[in-house]
A and B are shown apart, each in its own frame.
Chain A
């Protein structure tokens, strides 16, 4: 369907008869550029949609600025995107601290801040105060709670050591773990935190091992998660391991094995909500086939094994869905309404998972699967578990 010539009302920034302008920020350079595929994956999916007619005939233009993973730059570039570039909405901001840094401003300006790459409690829980900001990742606290419940049920005598990032991400997961353990929370015998700027986590792992723990819970970003697995293996510490889902890109275990042998990390447990394009059991899933098709056409020289690309496409799919439901002549208000009334089967999610929102549910992905690393892959276990 073609929008009318005056579509995109004059008071709706970023929407014209032929295009919808979205803005975003993320680390396109620097040490955290491992998240760049989240942005390029989304970009590629928008290109795919545009080549198939766009959204009601409008092409999606996604303008991404490089914030080098520096929240101060996130603020600077977001202001530029809103005030100078006149974007319709901010989409797919990477990082909890970064999203929180722009949240007040965007809510004041009533600019939708959609599908933020975070599962922080503060984003979903403060929806009344910041209704224009919606996350995408499953609740970090909910994920931590899953591990807690699992350990309490399957290993009631566990002596638990926890490595966590010293920020909202790590502390949400730790709070969830304690909540899931319930009366067994006292079995956490040691905790150690790291700063994202720390060069190594060796001393923390050494300290955790010394506690006598037989269970190692790693709430860390990929680099530190790899270091934790490797460090434990080099210390000949063989606990039962759990790792947060943000660190289960296939490359993580590949690097762990290269540095500490094939047995390191084997049997580790995590959670997953996305397809893994390298997992032989998922190769023929429609979402993986679509992913490979989009990668081949729009990012032919990029690393298709990096799950972050697939995450970006999943986010873009949700954004396109929200734009469609925002109507032929979308406004920021109608987009927000659409984004907070979603009931979507997203092909990039594992089967059985849906993306659902409501004005009282700001965690779009409310369920996830347990996965265990065996025989070179993260194997999906059982039925979906609730995270929020």
Chain B
């Protein structure tokens, strides 16, 4: 655990007894969703405009994940898309750019998190040639933080709601509202079943003051499980039926869209229908068979980000860590395809 985070957690522990839920704290909320495929991991953070300015975000990568932190400095490892409210110009701004590995030795004196880090990734957020570079500090967890995950990713944000001219005020009074960044070839997910929680701590500023408010630290959670889609095909009276189940981390998925393809060969498939999963994750579809040739089927299920706060936040972190409680839990988006099934004539 890095010194600064350790200090934050200690401070949080000290004030835990004061962690009464004030009205201001109750208003603070954020979401995080994580998705990934093909060696890429996408982390999506959303902070409503009404939430107090955020000073720091610490994302804990669940135990079981491994991370390759050996990217050489100046290597592009991904991309970032974000929107920010530019308070000074009264406009919402789209920001985009690469995620680039930096030399950790260049960041040992960063006020956000001084010391040596396993990796530092720069999120380059640009619009019309103007850039904001947000360093993201990556480290294996240590000590008490190992209970939250295997690695931690730390981002510090400057305050936007302090007077113009205040040192360290955000550029153009920019308030980050939404950021989605993807890194490739970094994280490898565990194969164990079940939903894994990416605990994420948001520490706000005291509004208008630009000083961190550790007592206001709250949690948002991303829930991630490997999606699975089964497919079986049968025929009866000149009609076929395809069916299966969709699950995520072994848990049935309700309301997922399933697109069905069929064709005369496994490599030449065309869209043939769709279905939606039931509460038990089951789906089925049927159609007419023509000709006496084999028919091949394949299904692809997709799910968007979904709110799962009721179940996902049922067990909150101790108030010593997140005095503001668990404010959201979000299941990540994914797409999964079934193996091809063959129906003999």
Q: How large is the interface on B (under 10, 10 to 19, 20 to 34, 35 or more residues)?
A: 20 to 34
User: Which of B74, B100, B127, B128 has its CB near the most chain A CB atoms (within 10 A)?
Assistant: B128
B residues within 8 A CB of A251?
94, 127-129
A residues within 8 A CB of B166?
none
User: CB-CB contacts of A276-310 with B at 8 A, as 1s and 0s?
Assistant: 00000000000000000000000011110010110
**Bound form: Cα–Cα A196–B92 in Å:** 20
**Bound form: Cα–Cα A127–B96 in Å:** 42
Are B94 and A255 in contact, with the CB atoms below 8 A? Answer: yes
- Partner of B127 from the list A199, A255, A301 (CB cut-off 8 Å) is A255
**Bound form: Cα–Cα A230–B93 in Å:** 13
Are A306 and B128 in contact, with the CB atoms below 8 A? Answer: yes
Which of A33-41, A55-63, A176-184 has 4 or more CB atoms under 8 Å from chain B? A33-41
Which of A2-10, A221-229, A359-367 has 4 or more CB atoms under 8 Å from chain B? A221-229
Are B90 and A306 in contact, with the CB atoms below 8 A? Answer: no
A259 at the interface (CB under 8 A from B): yes
**Residue ID in chain B nearest A230 by CB atoms:** B91
B49 at the interface (CB under 8 A from A): no
Are A37 and B76 in contact, with the CB atoms below 8 A? Answer: no
A254 at the interface (CB under 8 A from B): yes
Q: Shortest Cβ distance from B60 into chain A, in angstroms?
A: 28
**Residue ID in chain A nearest B126 by CB atoms:** A303
Are A34 and B128 in contact, with the CB atoms below 8 A? Answer: yes
Tell me if A's interface is mostly helix, strand, loop or mixed: helix
Q: Shortest Cβ distance from A118 into chain B, in angstroms?
A: 18
Are A36 and B129 in contact, with the CB atoms below 8 A? Answer: yes
**Bound form: Cα–Cα A34–B100 in Å:** 21
- Partner of A301 from the list B90, B91, B124 (CB cut-off 8 Å) is B124
Are B131 and A226 in contact, with the CB atoms below 8 A? Answer: no
User: CB-CB contacts of A214-255 with B at 8 A, as 1s and 0s?
Assistant: 000000001100110010000000000000000001011011
**Bound form: Cα–Cα A302–B96 in Å:** 10
**Bound form: Cα–Cα A36–B127 in Å:** 12
B residues within 8 A CB of A223?
89
**Residue ID in chain B nearest A303 by CB atoms:** B126
A1 at the interface (CB under 8 A from B): no
Are A34 and B97 in contact, with the CB atoms below 8 A? Answer: no
User: How many A-B residue contacts, CB cutoff 8 Å?
Assistant: 69
**Bound form: Cα–Cα A255–B128 in Å:** 10
**Bound form: Cα–Cα A302–B100 in Å:** 11
A residues within 8 A CB of B129?
34-37, 249, 251, 302-303, 306, 308-309
Are B94 and A258 in contact, with the CB atoms below 8 A? Answer: yes
A residues within 8 A CB of B91?
226-227, 230, 255, 259
Q: Shortest Cβ distance from A34 into chain B, in angstroms?
A: 5
Are B128 and A301 in contact, with the CB atoms below 8 A? Answer: no
**Bound form: Cα–Cα A36–B132 in Å:** 13
B83 at the interface (CB under 8 A from A): yes
Are A199 and B88 in contact, with the CB atoms below 8 A? Answer: yes
**Bound form: Cα–Cα A306–B83 in Å:** 17
User: Which of A200, A259, A303 has its CB near the most chain B CB atoms (within 10 A)?
Assistant: A303
**Bound form: Cα–Cα A36–B130 in Å:** 8
* Number of A interface residues in the complex (CB < 8 A): 28
Answer whether A227 and B92 are a contact pair too, CB < 8 Å, given A300-B76, A302-B126. Answer: no
A382 at the interface (CB under 8 A from B): no
User: CB-CB contacts of B114-154 with A at 8 A, as 1s and 0s?
Assistant: 00000000101011111100000000000000000000000
Q: Shortest Cβ distance from A217 into chain B, in angstroms?
A: 21
Are B94 and A303 in contact, with the CB atoms below 8 A? Answer: no
Are B89 and A199 in contact, with the CB atoms below 8 A? Answer: yes
Are A222 and B92 in contact, with the CB atoms below 8 A? Answer: no
**Residue ID in chain A nearest B87 by CB atoms:** A199
B residues within 8 A CB of A31?
88, 172
Interface residues of A in 185-210 (CB under 8 A from B): 199-200, 202
B98 at the interface (CB under 8 A from A): yes
User: CB-CB contacts of A299-337 with B at 8 A, as 1s and 0s?
Assistant: 011110010110000000000000000000000000000
Q: Shortest Cβ distance from B250 into chain A, in angstroms?
A: 40
Are B100 and A301 in contact, with the CB atoms below 8 A? Answer: yes
Q: Shortest Cβ distance from A382 into chain B, in angstroms?
A: 27
Q: Shortest Cβ distance from B269 into chain A, in angstroms?
A: 30
**Bound form: Cα–Cα A341–B96 in Å:** 42
A residues within 8 A CB of B76?
300-301
- Partner of B97 from the list A254, A255, A303 (CB cut-off 8 Å) is A303
Q: Shortest Cβ distance from A7 into chain B, in angstroms?
A: 36
Q: Shortest Cβ distance from B90 into chain A, in angstroms?
A: 6
Answer whether A227 and B90 are a contact pair too, CB < 8 Å, given A34-B128, A251-B127, A306-B129. Answer: yes
Q: Shortest Cβ distance from A200 into chain B, in angstroms?
A: 6
B residues within 8 A CB of A300?
76, 98
**Bound form: Cα–Cα A254–B93 in Å:** 9
**Bound form: Cα–Cα A200–B91 in Å:** 10
Are A301 and B89 in contact, with the CB atoms below 8 A? Answer: no
A residues within 8 A CB of B172?
31
B residues within 8 A CB of A254?
94
**Bound form: Cα–Cα A226–B172 in Å:** 15
Are B92 and A303 in contact, with the CB atoms below 8 A? Answer: no
Q: Shortest Cβ distance from A66 into chain B, in angstroms?
A: 14
A residues within 8 A CB of B124?
301
A residues within 8 A CB of B98?
300-301
- Partner of B92 from the list A200, A249, A259 (CB cut-off 8 Å) is A259
**Residue ID in chain B nearest A247 by CB atoms:** B128
Are B130 and A33 in contact, with the CB atoms below 8 A? Answer: yes
**Residue ID in chain A nearest B127 by CB atoms:** A251
User: CB-CB contacts of A21-55 with B at 8 A, as 1s and 0s?
Assistant: 00000000001011111000000000000000000
Interface residues of B in 90-108 (CB under 8 A from A): 90-94, 96-98, 100
Are B126 and A306 in contact, with the CB atoms below 8 A? Answer: yes
Give residues in A with beta carbon < 8 Å to B.
31, 33-37, 199-200, 202, 222-223, 226-227, 230, 249, 251-252, 254-255, 258-259, 300-303, 306, 308-309
A227-B91, A251-B129, A301-B97 given; 9 more Cβ-contact pairs under 8 Å: A34-B130, A202-B90, A227-B90, A249-B128, A255-B127, A258-B83, A301-B76, A301-B100, A303-B97
* Interchain residue pairs with CB less than 8 A apart (15): A33-B130, A199-B90, A200-B90, A227-B89, A251-B129, A255-B91, A259-B91, A259-B92, A301-B97, A301-B98, A301-B100, A302-B129, A303-B96, A306-B126, A308-B129
